[in-house]
A and B are shown apart, each in its own frame.
Chain A
Amino acid sequence: MRVESILELIGGTPLVGLHALSPNPRVKIYGKLEGQNPGGSVKDRIALAMVEAAEREGRLKPGDTILEPSSGNTGIGLALVCKLKGYRLRVVLPENVSPERREILEAFGAQVIGTPAEEGSNGAIRVAEKLAEEDPSLVFLFQYANPHNAQAHYDTTGPEILADCPEIDVFVAGLGTSGTLMGVGRYLHDHKPGVQVVAVEPPAGEQIQALRSLDEGFIPPIFDPDVLDRKIIVRARQSIEYTKRLLDECGVFAGISAGASAYGAVKVAESLDEGTVVCILPDAGWKYLSSGAWTDTTDVVEERATRINYW
């Protein structure tokens, strides 16, 4: 393989068998290794798609500054794309994300604006919306409401999965902005009717201490509940256990949200007689070494996860 730009390496990630995790030998489980993207996560796909769409729409010109709320991965993907395309980037990042994410963002040249830990991603969104309103020269791509987020997955992730695994019965992915689930889910519904689309959701609402009322809640504007067939909550403990199992039993060194996704895939597998489940493993383990996921006991990591956002 030979490419002229690192951006050409975004997407085209492999599916790898996680059959050791399957509770039933007649149910196969595959994980899509999104940590293989050059910026290290599935979010490289939407970063490139949102930037190129803004260029086509005339919203971005050389030297412009992009503003984005992110818990890390979208910011890192955007930083990579911006560096090569000549844009500046400001990332609004909750203070309680794993320290590696902030370090990588700074290494990639992004300006990081911290928001209070107790407000979580809601706080990062609130601050980014305010900054965008105050300074119209900032280009606000806003992954939570940008249709090119889901479209990137309809155009790339979905077709890759169906090409590599035409026998897929169930698709499992984490719910953050909902872009992966919306894009891949719609692609599969359109091209292989009958495939079940299952969301695994981190209990983010438990972490946000500063929520004053339910009316401060947030649902991503791109989220369409009808694309999903099932939604499961996955708690920190299960996510950590499956992050450990991915490495111990499958040799896959993946992030904590990949552990959540793998747990969801196993839970789905338990309810099938036979079939094939594909889950998204959004990133690799490097950014989570400080979580102790592979070196400390589950109890210790679980306690840490109450203070630090590893998703």
Chain B
Amino acid sequence: MAVVVRVPTVLRTHVEGAASVSAEGETIGEVFADLTARYPGLQGQLVGDDGALHKFVNVYVDDEDVRYLDGLQTKVADGAEISVLPAVAGG
């Protein structure tokens, strides 16, 4: 499955400055593994050493927060748009 991942400003230095990159995977976890293999600077930025989503990262598949879906096991459809955003103070 090919998907598009929107990369936040704070992580763009790790993906050669791109605002979005394409990636492969059946689940969010697989997509992030694919990205991290190609962009080693992302190691530890999306998924922590404990294997869980980084505390200060929010991930959305087609605008739905994956923490309220199936987390890293959330399935992604072909062509899905995945947004990664840092958790910051809102309001």
A149 to chain B, nearest CB (A): 11
Asked whether A218 and B88 contact (CB < 8 A) given A205-B8, A206-B9, A233-B60, the answer is yes
Task: List residues 7-42 of chain B with CB under 8 A from any CB of chain A.
Answer: 8-11
Chain A CB within 8 A of B1 CB: no
B43 CB within 8 Å of chain A: no
Which listed residue (B45, B60, B89) contacts A214, Cβ 8 A?
B45
Instruction: Give which listed residue, B67, B85, B88, contacts A233 with CB less than 8 A.
Output: B85
Contact yes or no, A202 B68, CB < 8 A:
no
A211 contacts B10, CB within 8 Å?
yes
Cβ contacts under 8 Å, A233 to chain B: 58, 60, 63, 65, 83, 85
Nearest-CB distance from A256 to chain B (Å)?
Answer: 12
Q: Which residues of B contact A125 (CB under 8 A)?
A: 89
Q: How many residues of A contact B (CB 8 A)?
A: 43
- Residues of chain B with a CB closer than 8 A to A212's CB: 10
Interface size class of B (residues with CB under 8 A): 20 to 34
With A211-B10, A214-B54, A232-B64 as known contacts, state yes or no: A219 contacts B91, CB within 8 Å. Answer: no
Assess A219 versus B87: contact at CB under 8 Å? Given A206-B8, A214-B54, A214-B56: yes
A173 to chain B, nearest CB (A): 12
Evaluate contact between B85 and A206: CB separation under 8 angstroms: yes
Known: A206-B8, A233-B83. A219 touches B67 (CB 8 A): no
Q: What is the CB-to-nearest-CB distance from B36 to chain A, in angstroms, rounded to a whole number? A: 14
CA distance A278 to B23 in the complex (A): 38
**Would you call B57 an interface residue if the criterion is a C-beta within 8 Å of the partner chain's C-beta atoms?**
yes
Query: In the complex the two chains form, is B67's CB within 8 Å of A211's CB?
Result: no
Q: Which of A53-61, A222-230, A295-303 binds B?
A: A222-230
Q: List 26 A-B contacts (CB under 8 A).
A: A70-B91, A121-B88, A121-B89, A121-B91, A124-B89, A144-B89, A176-B89, A176-B91, A204-B89, A205-B8, A205-B58, A206-B8, A206-B9, A211-B86, A214-B10, A214-B86, A217-B57, A217-B87, A220-B89, A230-B64, A231-B67, A231-B68, A233-B60, A233-B85, A235-B63, A311-B91
Given A175-B90, A311-B90; 11 other pairs, CB 8 A cutoff: A121-B90, A124-B89, A204-B89, A206-B9, A208-B86, A211-B88, A218-B56, A220-B89, A230-B65, A230-B68, A231-B67
Which A residues lie at the B interface, using CB under 8 A? Answer: 70-71, 73-74, 120-122, 124-125, 144, 174-177, 199, 201-206, 208-209, 211-220, 225, 228-235, 311
